[in-house]
Amino acid sequence: MSLNLQLVSWEESVAKHSIEEFVASAVDGPEAVPLPERIAVFDNDGTLWSEKPMPTQLHYVVQQWQDAIKADPSLAKRQPYRAVKDGDLAWLGRAIDKHYDGNDSDLELLVKAIVGLVEHNSVEDYARSVEEFYRTAQHPSLKRPYAETVYQPMVELLRYLEAHGFTCYIVSGGERDFMRSITEEYYGIPPERVIGSAYGLTYDWESSSLRYAASLSFFDDGEEKPKRIWSRIGRRPLLAVGNSNGDVPMLDFTKFGPRRGLSLLIHHDDDTNRGDPPYDAGAQSALAAAADRPYIRVSVKNDWTTLFPFTVQQRRDQ
Amino acid sequence: MSLNLQLVSWEESVAKHSIEEFVASAVDGPEAVPLPERIAVFDNDGTLWSEKPMPTQLHYVVQQWQDAIKADPSLAKRQPYRAVKDGDLAWLGRAIDKHYDGNDSDLELLVKAIVGLVEHNSVEDYARSVEEFYRTAQHPSLKRPYAETVYQPMVELLRYLEAHGFTCYIVSGGERDFMRSITEEYYGIPPERVIGSAYGLTYDWESSSLRYAASLSFFDDGEEKPKRIWSRIGRRPLLAVGNSNGDVPMLDFTKFGPRRGLSLLIHHDDDTNRGDPPYDAGAQSALAAAADRPYIRVSVKNDWTTLFPFTVQQRRDQ
């Protein structure tokens, strides 16, 4: 195996050794697993790339809303456009907090404005719009193209698993077709192996094409993740990686199957200013679950020697 | 290319030559298509295997109902169990006819009794039950295991396409997990490339497993086929094969994309007693659509030299 298929950005610690031992046992010996059944699943936001200060998809949506306000300033009289115009991104966060308190009125405004962006668009038109975003967008705090906000240790893990006969899938709460535009280039994962939340689709007989409906078909998070894994793959994964509360069912589904599985929980505990700030928000119940389950905890601070294809300092010096 | 990757069970006619010419143009020359985009989609019932006198799945369902009646004879007081007990399979057909006349009362009984068979079952338990069915079941009129009711010319087409870099998917109205038990063995198509109708799923935290809900999540027919193709694959197919009214959107979606596509419509017109009887039922609007669209019509009678891995006569002689 060539050097670039080693986990070079991983410290020589329990996390790396657990992965290597597990993969070796899946390839050879009494617990070897047939090739087609070596399935690995990866959350995206916070697992394969940075999700702070906001998921990339929200950046795209806000930019689209800003364009819509430019075209029709009267939109800014109502939410969520007013919040976007005023730069009040905290309003978006509060809409979600209110949802957990049983008040969905703001969340409904939010979802309605999100699906309104794609309604009637063909899947090809949407893909072009997303590709345009990625050509120019910069990560707001890391100040670099999103292509350089992928976690280098995870890209190495994808290649390492493939080199040992694994097939890797993304299983994310992010919107499926938004991810599909870049997963091949960023992660080497083709569109047929991208599982995510989905807008409704309608078939247009006149143009023989698919267009989006003004609806969210499902939100691929929590219990939905194992359900979508089954729908799409029809196999229970052998290895899973996540970082949030919504990843627990997927990590359990992988760990507690009839066969030995490996579930990794990434913990964003890095206070060294190498990249993302440390955070537990959205991961508290996953971290609590990990305490009484045989997950392997991956510390960003202690288990990864580097975060991005270029370090933040290298990028600043360019 | 070795001999067994030729279309040996196809006559030297327009259908075969159209396929060969199209595939050659996708591989080489000005219209060559990159490998990952060479996607082919196949209907199952009536396209990859026999669907007469009834789809295999209905055979399984009826057998399960018969077992349920043995365990609880009181079931036979009501439909659809009474029809099954009396051997009145025409009742099942009438329930569907009534649906098209706007009366869903019998269809609701039917669907309720079908989803009742799987409710609370884990996906693994259902797979075991289906595998048991296939081990012993015989096709009711061809009197042979279902493995020998696959169309030999279509299996050759799957291998021929693969040999030219195509990736083949099944896109069927049949239930996805029912097909997944046998598609690898019968067609060389793994579970992740089987698209079909689906029961609802629930995630069981206690056992970290997936169980069926008492619901049909969607019926993968008509407009649903291109929608599911997009959800699962994220690409527009290059080649599609179907035989029924419900295949027209998938054939159009393939034929009328931005790139040249090939859509094949199989016509069950074989009156030679080699296998299935000739029939147009369920295909009338597809045949009408084919008259004003550039589909390639495949005549079972004239374009296929043989139907099954063993001919009906060979099987009778065994």
Between residues B1 and B265, which one has the greater pLDDT? B265
Residue A192 has pLDDT above 70, yes or no: yes
Measure B61 CA to nearest chain A CA, in Å: 21
Q: Do B230 and A194 touch (CB under 8 A)?
A: no
In which band, very low, low, confident or very high, does the pLDDT at B27 lie, cut at 50, 70 and 90?
very high
What is the full DSSP assignment across B84-101?
A: HHTT-HHHHHHHHHHHHT
Q: What is the pLDDT of residue B88?
A: 85
Residue B312 has pLDDT above 80, yes or no: no
What are the domain boundaries of chain A? 3-52+143-317, 56-136
- Please give the average per-residue pLDDT across A40-46, as a whole number: 98
Measure A284 CA to nearest chain B CA, in Å: 18
Nearest to B123 by CA among A251, A230, A254: A230
A89-100 and A105-118 helices, crossing angle to 10°: 120
The three-state secondary structure class of A236 is: coil
Q: Do A201 and B227 touch (CB under 8 A)?
A: yes
Residue B1 has pLDDT above 70, yes or no: no
Q: What is the pLDDT of residue B36?
A: 97
Please provide the average confidence, as pLDDT, over all residues in chain B: 94
Residue B302 has pLDDT above 60, yes or no: yes
Closest residue in A to B176 (Cα) is A231
In which band, very low, low, confident or very high, does the pLDDT at A4 lie, cut at 50, 70 and 90?
low
**H or E segment at A61?**
helix A56-71
Q: Do A203 and B223 touch (CB under 8 A)?
A: yes
Please provide the average confidence, as pLDDT, over all residues in chain A: 94
- Residues 274-293 on A with a CB inside 8 Å of B are none
Q: How far apart are CA B86 and CA B226, in angstroms?
A: 39
Residue B4 has pLDDT above 70, yes or no: no
Residue A240 has pLDDT above 90, yes or no: yes
Q: What is the pLDDT of residue A315?
A: 67
Residue type, A110: L
Between residues B291 and B312, which one has the greater pLDDT? B291
Q: Which of A185-199, B268-282, B300-314 has the lowest mean pLDDT?
A: B300-314
pLDDT in tens, A206-226: 999 999 999 999 999 999 999
User: With contact defined as beta carbons under 8 Å apart, do A152 and A307 qualify?
Assistant: yes
Q: What is the pLDDT of residue A87?
A: 87
Interface A–B counts its CB contacts (< 8 A) at 82
Query: Quick check: B230 contacting A, CB < 8 Å?
Result: yes
Between residues A307 and B103, which one has the greater pLDDT? A307
Measure B233 CA to nearest chain A CA, in Å: 4
Residue B261 has pLDDT above 60, yes or no: yes
Residue B105 has pLDDT above 70, yes or no: yes
Nearest to A311 by CA among A140, A153, A105: A153
Q: Two tokens at A311?
A: 């370090």
Residue written as tokens 């192996």? A193
Q: What is the pLDDT of residue A1?
A: 39
Query: Quick check: B105 contacting A, CB < 8 Å?
Result: no
Q: What is the pLDDT of residue A59?
A: 94
Q: What is the pLDDT of residue B316?
A: 66
Q: How far apart are CA A313 and CA B5, in angstroms?
A: 55
User: With contact defined as beta carbons under 8 Å apart, do B299 and B267 qualify?
Assistant: yes
Q: How far apart are CA B184 and CA B230, in angstroms?
A: 22
Alpha helices in chain B (DSSP H): 14-27, 56-71, 81-85, 89-100, 105-118, 123-136, 152-163, 176-180, 183-187, 224-233, 248-255, 284-291, 300-303, 312-317
- Please give the average per-residue pLDDT across B281-290, as a whole number: 94
In which band, very low, low, confident or very high, does the pLDDT at B318 lie, cut at 50, 70 and 90?
low
Query: Quick check: A35 contacting B, CB < 8 Å?
Result: no
**H or E segment at A302?**
helix A300-303
Q: What is the pLDDT of residue B305?
A: 96
Residue A318 has pLDDT above 70, yes or no: no
Residue type, A295: Y
Work out the angle at residue B177's Cα, subtended by the Cα atoms of residues B173 and B183, and round it to the nearest 5 degrees: 85
Question: Which residues of A are less than 8 Å from B201 in CB distance?
Answer: 227, 230-231
Q: What is the pLDDT of residue B311?
A: 67
- Please give the average per-residue pLDDT across A294-299, as a whole number: 98
CA dihedral B178, B246, B34, A167 (to 10 degrees): -20
Question: Which of A230, A245, A292 should we substitute to test contact with B (largest number of B Cβ atoms within 10 Å)?
Answer: A230
Question: Which of B231, B248, B251, B256 should we substitute to test contact with A (largest number of A Cβ atoms within 10 Å)?
Answer: B231
Residue type, A151: Y
pLDDT in tens, A89-131: 788 878 877 877 788 888 889 889 999 999 999 999 999 999 9
Q: What is the pLDDT of residue A66?
A: 95
A105-118 and A56-71 helices, crossing angle to 10°: 80
Residue A138 has pLDDT above 60, yes or no: yes
Q: What is the pLDDT of residue A96?
A: 76
Second-level CATH architecture of A3-52+143-317: 3-Layer(aba) Sandwich (3.40)
Q: What is the pLDDT of residue B5?
A: 81
Query: Quick check: A198 contacting B, CB < 8 Å?
Result: yes
Handedness of CA B209, A101, A265, A169 (dihedral sign): positive
- Please give the average per-residue pLDDT across A50-67, as a whole number: 94
Residue B85 has pLDDT above 80, yes or no: yes
Contacting residues for B241 by C-beta, under 8 A, at least 6 apart: B40, B41, B42, B43, B47, B154, B157, B263, B264, B265, B266, B298
Residue B126 has pLDDT above 90, yes or no: yes
- Name the residue facing A231 among B198, B209, B252 (closest C-beta): B198
pLDDT in tens, B161-190: 999 999 999 999 999 999 999 999 999 999
Q: Which CATH number fits domain B3-52+142-317: 3.40.50.10190, 3.40.50.620, 3.90.1150.10, 3.40.50.1000?
A: 3.40.50.1000
First to last CA, chain B: 33
Question: Which of A179, A210, A215 should we substitute to test contact with B (largest number of B Cβ atoms within 10 Å)?
Answer: A210
Closest residue in B to A227 (Cα) is B201
Q: Do B256 and A208 touch (CB under 8 A)?
A: yes
Q: What is the pLDDT of residue A316?
A: 65
Q: Do A210 and B226 touch (CB under 8 A)?
A: yes
Q: Two tokens at B84?
A: 């099954």
Q: What is the pLDDT of residue A313?
A: 66
In which band, very low, low, confident or very high, does the pLDDT at A39 lie, cut at 50, 70 and 90?
very high
Question: Which residues of A are less than 8 Å from B205 in CB distance?
Answer: 249, 252
User: With contact defined as beta carbons under 8 Å apart, do B251 and B242 qualify?
Assistant: yes
Nearest to B131 by CA among B186, B80, B87: B186
Question: Which residues of A are less than 8 Å from B191 in CB distance?
Answer: 233-235
**H or E segment at A253?**
helix A248-255
- Residues 236-275 on A with a CB inside 8 Å of B are 249, 252-253, 255-258
- Please give the average per-residue pLDDT across A269-297, as a whole number: 94
Q: Two tokens at B170?
A: 């099944």
Query: Quick check: A206 contacting B, CB < 8 Å?
Result: no
Q: How far apart are CA B111 and CA B108, in angstroms?
A: 5
Q: What is the pLDDT of residue B2?
A: 44
